[in-house]
Structure 1
Amino acid sequence: MNTPIIRLIKKSDNLQIAKVIRSILEDFNVPKIGTAYADTALDCMYETYKKPKTAYFVVEVNSKVIGGAGIAKLDNFDGNVCELQKMYFLPEARGRGIGAQMMEVCLSKARDFGYEKIYLETMEYMTHAQKLYKQSGFKYIKARMGDTGHYSCQIHMLKTL
């Protein structure tokens, strides 16, 4: 397999990344409501992440999008906190260090944007993802922050940048 490329999303990536994210959520039997699955942004990721202080990155191998992750200001929260959003990778991308590379790209961009902290939500059984988050310095917190609309996500984590 060729070397993966991490780059900013392009409009032409919208269909591929939506399919990637939905297929992963289906593989994990994630509820279709109260999670990223129901987000209207999934079908227009490029447009969603064109706002100030937001960015979405995709991982591409041989012109195929195999994952992605982004950052944006935490919705409905009064503070200088961003959220790590929609970090998902197809099975062929896993176990290759791509997640750690993507995390560094997102954390670096969050710092560039001047955010003080970064928040995330995930599912209890997504243990491999949680391992990456802990290795990246995220700590578990007891309650959700802001209102992402992802009320089915039981795990909340936060990192100071």
Structure 2
Amino acid sequence: MTIAFESPDQPDVIALIADLDVYQDTLYPPESRHALDLASLKLPNVLFAVARDVEGHAIGCGAIVLHSDFGELKRMYVSPRGRGQGVAKKLMSQLESRARDVGCKLIKLETGPYQHEALALYESTGYERRGPFGDYANDPLSVFMQKRIAT
């Protein structure tokens, strides 16, 4: 498996993101989903990483949107065929490392309460629950977390 910072505007990555959207559509109503679209993922303040299997197929992705005082983890997803191999942890590690390299000290995220595997992953990698941030409202279908990545 390899992880690299790539453009999200590639057919296999677009398909991966579409799979994530379909999955989240089964869990949450539209007003409780806060996904970035493809154009937003291509902005210069976004770090976008792709995990690929040994055959070069996209099996995971994630992004960090860099703001002036924190980064926001977005679009973390590993396809079913890539799960159980540590792909998500490796993606997060690469994203956090690159964010730290550009001066980011704090990562925040919003996820949903029905994504038990994601919550377990975030907690196991040092993320702690917090209240809403930025433009997010308090929503029973949102879980907010953060992690300091630099002192």
Taking structure 1 as the reference length, the TM-score comes to 0.78
Give me the CA root mean square deviation: 2.5
Determine the structure 2 residue equivalent to 1:99. Answer: 88
Query: 1:79-98 to 2 correspondence within 5 Å?
Result: 80-98=69-87
- Determine the structure 2 residue equivalent to 1:7: 4
* Distance verdict in 2 for CA 1:148–1:20, change over 3 Å: farther
> What residue number does 2:20 align with?
24
Letter in 2 for 1:26: V
Q: Which runs of 5+ in 1 are unaligned?
A: none
Which runs of 5 or more structure 2 residues have no equivalent in the other structure? none
1:72-111 Cα offsets, whole Å, 9 max, x none, are 124xxxx511101110110011111111111110111111
Count of residues in correspondence between the two structures: 146
Indicate whether 1:132 and 2:125 are aligned: no
- SS of residue matched to 1:146: coil
User: Quick one: distance in 1 between partners of 2:69 and 2:91?
Assistant: 22
**Inter-CA distance 152–17: structure 2 relative to 1 (3 Å threshold):** farther
CA shift for structure 1 position 47: 2.5
Change (3 A) 1:56 1:152: farther
TM-score scaled by structure 2? 0.83
User: What is the match of residue 73 of structure 1?
Assistant: 66
Query: 1:21 and 1:11 mapped to 2: Cα distance?
Result: 9
In 2: Cα distance, 1:152 partner to 1:89 partner: 25
Q: Which has the higher mean CA deviation after the structures are superposed, 85-94 or 63-72?
A: 63-72
Return structure 1 stretches of 4+ with deviation > 4 angstroms: none
| % identity of equivalent residues | 23
Aligned residue number for residue 142 of structure 2: 154
Change (3 A) 1:46 1:160: closer
Distance 1:45 1:60 in 2: 22
